[in-house]
Amino acid sequence: MKNKWSAFIDQNYDVPEVKFALKSVKILTGTKKRFLKHLSFGTEPSEYGKTLSAYNLDIQLEVEKNG
Amino acid sequence: MVDEALSSMSLTEISEALVKREVSSQEVVRNSLEELEKRGPSLNCVARLFPEQALAEAETADQELSSGISQGPLHGVPLLHKDMFYRTGKISACGSKICEDYVPDVTATVLLKLDQAGALDIGRLKMVEFAYGLTGHNEITGDVRNPWNPEYIPGGSSSGPAAAVAGFLSYGSLGSDTGGSIRFPASCCGLVGMKPTYGRVSRFGAMPLSFSLDHIGPLTRTVADCALLTQIIVGKDTNDSTSYYQPKPDFLSRIESGIQDLKIGVPTTYGNGPLGFLDQLHPEVQREMESSLAVFRSLGAKVVEIPLPENFEISNNMANIIAGAESSSAHANWLKEQPEDYGSQTRERLLTGLLFSAVDYLDALKLRKVILEDFLKEVFEKVDVLHAPVVPIPVPTLEESNIKANPGFIEYLILLGHFTRPFDYLGLPALSVPAGLTDNGLPSGFQLVAPPFEEALLFRTARAFEKENPWSYPQVSLD
């Protein structure tokens, strides 16, 4: 049984707003496929924050310590 | 009577004049309120003012100064901000009908930091509905006008802040940037706009659009003003789980030290592929980019071409997936219960977000680390800062960029965030700086991008350019 949302999409497929939305989703999601192979099995979203916050932190802490 | 000389002072100048008691806070606030009353309606940039509170606080600020007490570097300076920064007991409508009566019970951390620096919060400025859009159109509260020419867009979503600061109605203003919403309007209105590193500035008490991509930063008329405001609002905040601890920065002490031997990268292709990052650039904007690079060369910087990592080409699309999913999730209840209360463009974008799968969303988040690592290695191991355009085309008129009146503009609309959104995705600091004018007489800016938490380098680089290429604002009469 279809959920309410996909039923809504089916019923309103010809509505310009829905048509535009479906086209956008196809374009946006289609481009990532060839880069997904670079993700390891255990990759988590939070690893981004670690990479960002750790950048040069040692150097900056040293600068802060030494004025 | 409005004192235009007072209105046109920079944030730094007015702060110094107050400290030296060359002018009182009450005089400055009265002058600002008169300017806002006189010219605010022509720009349609004011959401609401707090005049009685502002005058009372200015009186207190003057009394403190006469007793030798200064709260901080912005003591007694009136400021207005985008209508999405919450203050307990004050309406934050977020450019919408849905929140037109919303009264928050918290105050944004950035506002508290400005309070502690002595600034006076005298009102709110209009914005794109829920900050979702780059042109500045708003079907609910009306379109904000560009002070350079009221027929043109001011850019969005921080449309009111950009118009008010460029129009001498505020000495500076806080905006937000999820896909370019600080840098884009800064470029359209000839301002300096800082999108700091993700996590550098607390988002607590600010309307969320997409929590993984939202950044808060200032729009100002000078680089030093931008550095000053950024300096005040940065810092870890336990109320924002995404804010990071970093050593206390000093954005001002080395701002005048020049850029000799700095290596500036100009992006070319994505990896070894045929796609160029700058391929979609309008020739008039390209001309201004080249002129600005010539200035940097004359200042002793080395300008080199640099290919971007191949995977960077999808960062714009990945950011759109994240923004779509997170904003639609935040708006799910209102979309279900009162969809008719949204403007049609906002509703359309929120609808798109509902269609992404959980896997699409998580893939976009997981790829972020991989693309950032490659970007840091392939770009910032070779150059100090990256130079890129902000708005790919000359600033369009309100009419030609109105999708309802001109459906063909949709092709451009998709391109508008091409140069800004990827840096929200990577979370890198980026500063928009006025470069010159295109043939329509409207400003065009470039952005400088740096490694994480290197905002000081951006201010120093931009200041060197500003000194060599001083900027003036039009005294447009909108009466």
Which CATH number does the domain housing residue B295 bear? 3.90.1300.10
Query: Shortest Cα distance from B14 to chain A (angstroms)?
Result: 30
Q: How far is A58 from chain B (nearest CA, A)?
A: 10
Place of tokens 């002490």: B253
Q: With respect to residue B401, please indicate whether it lies within any of the assigned structural domains.
A: yes
Look up B157 and say whether it is catalytic. yes
Residue carrying the six token digits 């300008």 = B303
Q: How many domains does chain A contain in total?
A: 1
pLDDT for B117 equals 98
Instruction: Classify residue B281: in a domain, yes or no.
Output: yes
Give yes or no for A36 touching B (CB within 8 A). Answer: yes
| pLDDT score for B476 | 55
> Is B369 within 8 Å of chain A by CB?
yes
Cβ contact A56–B355 (<8 Å) = no
In chain B, the number of structural domains is: 1
Label residue A4 by pLDDT band (50, 70, 90): low
Q: Please tell me which residue of chain A has the smallest CA distance to B246.
A: A57
Which position has the token pair 């009685």?
A: B52
Instruction: Report the alpha-carbon distance of residue B215 to residue B203 in Å, rounded.
Output: 7
E strand or H helix that includes residue B110: helix B109-116
Q: How far apart are CA B361 and CA B371, in angstroms?
A: 16
Distances from the Cα of B194 to the Cαs of B183, B220, B306, in angstroms?
7, 9, 23
Q: How far is CA B346 from the centre of its chain?
A: 20
Quick check: B413 contacting A, CB < 8 Å? no
Asked if residue B326 belongs to a domain, the reply is: yes
Assess if residue B403 is contained within a domain: yes
pLDDT for residue B344: 87
Per 3-state DSSP, chain A is made up of helix, strand and coil in percentages (nearest 5) of: 70, 0, 30
Which two three-digit tokens encode residue B420?
């800004």
B132: nearest Cα among B277, B315, B326: B326
Question: Which pLDDT score, from 0 to 100, does residue A3 have?
Answer: 56
Write the CB contacts of A65 (distance below 8 Å, at least 6 apart in sequence): none
A28, A36, A47 ranked by CB distance to B369: nearest: A47
d(CA B79, CA B84) in angstroms, rounded, equals 14
Minimum distance, in Å, between the CA of residue B74 and any CA atom of chain A: 25
The answer to whether the CB atoms of A61 and B352 lie below 8 A apart is no
Partner residue facing A32 (CB), from B198, B245, B363: B363
Chain A touched by B106 (CB under 8 Å): no
Tell me which residues of chain B have a pLDDT lower than 50: 478-479
Candidates B118, B86, B120, B116; CA nearest to B103 is B86
**Position B57 in a domain:** no
pLDDT band at A10 (very low <50, low <70, confident <90, very high): confident
pLDDT value, residue B17: 97
Q: What percent of chain B has pLDDT over 90?
A: 87
Is residue B10 flagged as an active site residue?
Answer: no
Give the model's pLDDT for residue A1.
39
Domain that holds residue B289: 263-451
Contact B78, B171 (CB under 8 A): yes
Q: What is the pLDDT of residues B244-296, one digit of tens each?
A: 988 888 999 999 999 998 999 999 998 877 888 998 899 999 999 999 999 99
* Residue of B198, B364, B370 with shortest CB distance to A38: B370
- Which residue, among A13, A20, A50, A51, would best test binding to B if mutated, counting the most B CBs under 10 Å from its CB? A51
Task: Compare CB distances from B355 to A25, A45, A52 and report the shortest one's residue.
Answer: A25
Q: Which of B197, B370, B376 to mutate to test the interface with A (most CBs of A within 10 A)?
A: B370
DSSP-H helix ranges across B8-80: 11-19, 25-43, 51-66
User: Which pLDDT value is given to residue B475?
Assistant: 58
Chain B interface disruption, residue of A10, A13, A22, A24, most B CBs within 10 A: A24
Buried b (16+ CB within 10 A) or exposed e, B75-84: bbbbbbbbbb
Q: Do residues B236 and B244 touch, judged by C-beta distance below 8 A?
A: yes
pLDDT, position A67: 59
What distance in Å separates the CA atoms of residue B420 and residue B179, rounded to the nearest whole number? 6
For residue B297, being part of any structural domain is answered with yes
Q: Does A44 touch chain B (CB under 8 A)?
A: yes
Residue A42 forms contact with B (CB below 8 Å): no
- What one-character DSSP code corresponds to residue B26? H
Interface confidence, given as ipTM, is: 0.88
B252: nearest Cα among B275, B235, B229, B219: B229
Beta-bridged to residue B124, according to DSSP, are B48, B81
Range(s) of the domain holding residue A34: 4-66
Q: Is B373 on the interface with A (CB under 8 A)?
A: yes
Angstroms from A26 CA to nearest CA on chain B:
9
B96 is catalytic: no
What integer pLDDT is reported at residue B262 of this predicted model? 97
Please pick, among B7, B15, B157, B170, the residue that the annotation labels catalytic: B157
Distance (Å) from the C-alpha of residue A20 to the closest C-alpha of chain B?
8
First to last CA, chain A: 66
